[in-house]
Structure 1
Amino acid sequence: MSRTPRIVVVGDVITDVVAVLSGPLVSGSDTGAEIRFSGGGQAANTAAWIAAQGVAVTLVGAVGDDDAGRDRVAELDRAGVDCAVDRVPGASTGTVIVLAVDDERTMVSQRGANLRLTAEHVERALAGAPDAGHLHLSAYTLLDAGSRSAGLRALAAARERGLTTSVDAASAAPLRRVGAAAFLTWVRDVDLLLVNADEATVLAGGLDPAAQGRVLSASARRVVVKRGAAGAVWVDRSATLSVAPARRVAVVDVTGAGDAFAAGLLTAWLAGAEPRAALDRAGDLGALAVCTIGARPTP
């Protein structure tokens, strides 16, 4: 395989407050949990997992001009991520409370400075990464009206520069709010679209995963449907269909598993791996992610 080019990741930088619950949440009373504060955000997590594979990566995002923002950038720097992260005066760094139990997670989000990411900042960051070969966009950037222009500009500017592009669909609830038709227009002709089972259902209806992939390949050139413990499916416009099973591991915390999966998929595919090999690499990293608490690689 060839060497993976620099990847530019655009999107959210977050502080995660992860609570791994001892059992189902007891409403109106106490539930025991192991709680950890750590770096999060779909884009930031994916960038950290890409860097952990020894691939050059630039993260484009926004944090507040606060201690949390400085901490988030510092930890990404230590992880080997090149940060083109704007510090926004008067805004707070985004925070997400993650409630994790078994193989499910529920998130309570304050988007903070992520809403203030601008098209101009994205443009400058891309100009500062002339060796980039690929742009990966967290769809949270598109799903939030405040940052949508930055997400759209990222995809357009990448195409103008001859970069390949990918989008992670991010989350089913905000996808449902903006509507499938609008979202699929925004991501039309991206080279790779990643969706989990819930997101695929929002965008393509309640079909089987291969059929969902075929429907979505009318908008994106390649589609990967992530199915958690059921594995993953790759579908592209040339009618290629590849299915990979999930790894059998003891699940501790699923936070960031999809981001690790995306990093493994991208680093393998951009280096020339065939679909099944890319899915296998993605599955390896996703399995590694669910074995520990938190969304980032273990130092």
Structure 2
Amino acid sequence: MTGSGRIVTVGDVVTDVVAVLRAPLAAGTDTAAAIQLTGGGQAANTAAWLAWLGVPVTLVAAVGEDEAGRARLAELAALGVDCTVRRVPDAPTGTVIVLTGDGERTMVTDRGANLRLTAADVSAALAAAPDARHLHLSGYALLDAGSRGAALRALAAARDGGLTTSVDAASAAPLRQVGPAAFRSWVRGADLLLANADEAAVLADGAGAAARARELTGVTPHVVVKKGGGGAIWAIRDGEALSVPARPTPVVDVTGAGDAFAAGLLAAWVAGAGPAGALERATELGAQAVAQVGARPPAPGRPR
């Protein structure tokens, strides 16, 4: 894919320990699973899928001065991601334990060095990327006080630099903890908000995904609500809402499917596609992501 311009993703890099459960989780005893260690983190995953699509992409993040950090950066560099990632000597690279099965996943999270991301990191990265056209922010950076200043700086600096901006709402439970009003105030002024159905239910009062998407256009002019196997809705302020179905595919692991979806959408939208074309690309990548274990593209190279 060409002509999209550089996209900067800001947020998290982690090691995912993915356990695909072979039976419902049995508390207090053993549950059989297939376990895989892989790269993860919302911003890193989206950057990886963008690079896999051939889109120039810079990741802004923080990892530990440890073997896990070195491995995660090597994986991303092999995919073609430009990593503006600071190595933090006194904090470990983040780790997430992912329990997945029956189309759902539960995450146990240690954000580690991701909490050390600073406004200075963001400013330096944007200054080094004069060809950037769009900034995509992982909501996780907003949801923790340690990285919130960097996240707010990213949105403000991008707007000042003439970049379009998008935010992924990240996760329903921490959204509830910070409160929907606070999160809406932080992302107000961005161009696009992405949320899954649970996150949209936290952020808006409407009944159903379509009503919540329309309500949230009062915060950002474009809102996309992902409904998993139910497809997605794109609502536009003072405009129509477009709904598309999901692509039928066997579901192996939903980890990172939303990040792949975001990459497909942004690659098309920043290149000039309208909502219909962007959602088509987004659902294509989302379907590819759920058909495999882990949150990253299957291998370095270009898609068929």
Q: Please name the residue that 1:290 is paired with.
A: 290
TM-score (norm 2): 0.97
Offset from partner CA, 1:115-159 (integer Å, 9 cap, x none): 000001110011000100000000000000000000000000000
Q: Please name the residue that 1:98 is paired with.
A: 98
Q: Which shifted more, 202-211 or 183-192? A: 202-211
Whether 2:72 is the aligned partner of 1:72: answer: yes
The alpha carbon displacement at 1:206 in A equals 5.0
Q: CA RMSD in A?
A: 1.0
The alpha carbon displacement at 1:7 in A equals 0.1
Q: Please name the residue that 2:162 is paired with.
A: 162
Q: What SS does the aligned partner of 2:23 have? A: coil
The count of corresponding residues between Structure 1 and Structure 2 is 299
Offset from partner CA, 1:217-257 (integer Å, 9 cap, x none): 00001000000000000001131211100011100000000
For residue 8 of structure 1, what is the amino acid of its counterpart? V
Q: Please name the residue that 1:175 is paired with.
A: 175
Offset from partner CA, 1:177-222 (integer Å, 9 cap, x none): 0001100000002110000000000000251212111110000010
Unaligned runs of 5+ in 1: none
Matched-pair identity in %: 67
CA spacing shift, 1:35–1:2, aligned 2, 3 Å? closer
2:197–2:225 contact (8 Å) kept in structure 1: yes
Matches within 5 A, 1:101-140: 101-140=101-140
Measured in 2, the distance between the counterparts of 1:26 and 1:285 equals: 32
1:135–1:165 contact (8 Å) kept in structure 2: yes
Measured in 2, the distance between the counterparts of 1:189 and 1:239 equals: 18
CA spacing shift, 1:148–1:78, aligned 2, 3 Å? same
The alpha carbon displacement at 1:20 in A equals 0.2
Measured in 1, the distance between the counterparts of 2:49 and 2:206 equals: 31
Q: Please name the residue that 2:49 is paired with.
A: 49
1:2–1:272 contact (8 Å) kept in structure 2: no
The alpha carbon displacement at 1:258 in A equals 0.2
For residue 269 of structure 1, what is the amino acid of its counterpart? W
Q: What SS does the aligned partner of 1:146 have? A: helix
Measured in 2, the distance between the counterparts of 1:159 and 1:190 equals: 8
2:233–2:243 contact (8 Å) kept in structure 1: yes
Unaligned runs of 5+ in 2: 300-304
Q: Please name the residue that 2:249 is paired with.
A: 249
Q: What SS does the aligned partner of 1:83 have? A: strand
Q: Please name the residue that 2:224 is paired with.
A: 224
Q: Please name the residue that 1:37 is paired with.
A: 37
